[in-house]
Structure 1
Amino acid sequence: MTRRPFPLAVPPELRAYILDFHWDLGLLHALDLPVVELPAAALADHLALPFWAYAGEPFQVTPRQVAADPVTYREQYERTLAADLRHPVDVVRRPDGRITILDGVHRLLRAELEHREVLAVRVLGWDELDLIAVRD
């Protein structure tokens, strides 16, 4: 059985961040992963990438755009304010050492808006990706 490919066309600027296969958030949340503290600045590059949908279209708006214009991007801004920072951000550590957020970009933006310097993160190893993969 093979991993199911990611179902959407990914913009070039996100290809280094988005996994190339479909994965399951429930499987990720069910894992007992180590929690560590990480400087929020180590994840700040995610805030400049168009992860979020706007007007029903995926990959249209960056978290920084949402923060700069909460009226226009009200839905994403409200999701950001509702993000619960008691829950760690889920990340994967890539073979080259880069850390990519799997779940928690709204929490990262909220942490930035609140000037938090440190975030709790759960770290999934690159060799553990099959644990969250959706299979064909």
Structure 2
Amino acid sequence: MTRRPFPLAIPPELTAYILDFHWDVDLLHALDLPTIELPVAELAHHLDLPFWAYDGPFKVTPHQVAADPLTYQAQYDRTLAADLRHPLDVVRRPDNRLTILDGIHRLLRAELEGRTTVSARVLPWSALDQIAVRD
């Protein structure tokens, strides 16, 4: 069986961040992964990328949501409800970069609260098959 391809067209600015296959967040959460503390600043560039939907996928950045919570009320409410007791899930890419798989809302909340670090679980690139959805 092969990995199921990602179901949406990925904008060029996100190809270095979004995996090109469909993966399962429940499989990710079930993994026993090491947890580390990361500086919010190390991941903050994610907040300037259009990860979130607004009249279509990949239209708004988390920083746009923070700057205009009335327009983006649903995403802002999700951000304020994000539970920072749960670590972000990141993947360590072959070039050693960390990119967020799950936890953008938690990262934005941490930034809004002025936190300097967040907890993150680190998935090695070699373990991606453990979260892949198969055809």
TM-score range, shorter chain: over 0.9
TM-score by length of 2: 0.99
Alignment partner, residue 45 of structure 2: 45
Counting aligned pairs with the same residue, the percent is: 76
2:123 counterpart of 1:124: yes
What is aligned with 2:86? 87
Q: Distance in 1 between matches of 2:17 and 2:50?
A: 11
- Write the deviation string for residues 6-33 of structure 1: whole angstroms up to 9, x where unpaired: 0000111000000000000000000010
Q: CA RMSD in A?
A: 0.5
Amino acid at match of 1:74: Q
Aligned to 1:66: 65
| Structure 2 match to 1:78 | 77
TM-score by length of 1: 0.98
Task: Give every structure 1 segment of 4 or more consecutive aligned residues whose post-TM-superposition deviation is greater than 4 Å.
Answer: none
Q: Which residue of 2 aligns with 1:112?
A: 111
- Structure 2's unaligned 5+ residue stretches are none
Measure the CA separation in 1 of the matches of 2:63 and 2:27.
29
Instruction: List alignment gaps of at least 5 residues for structure 1.
Output: none
SS in 2 for 1:106: helix
CA distance in 1, matches of 2:98, 2:45: 10
In the other structure, the counterpart of 2:2 is 2
- Alignment length, in residue pairs? 135
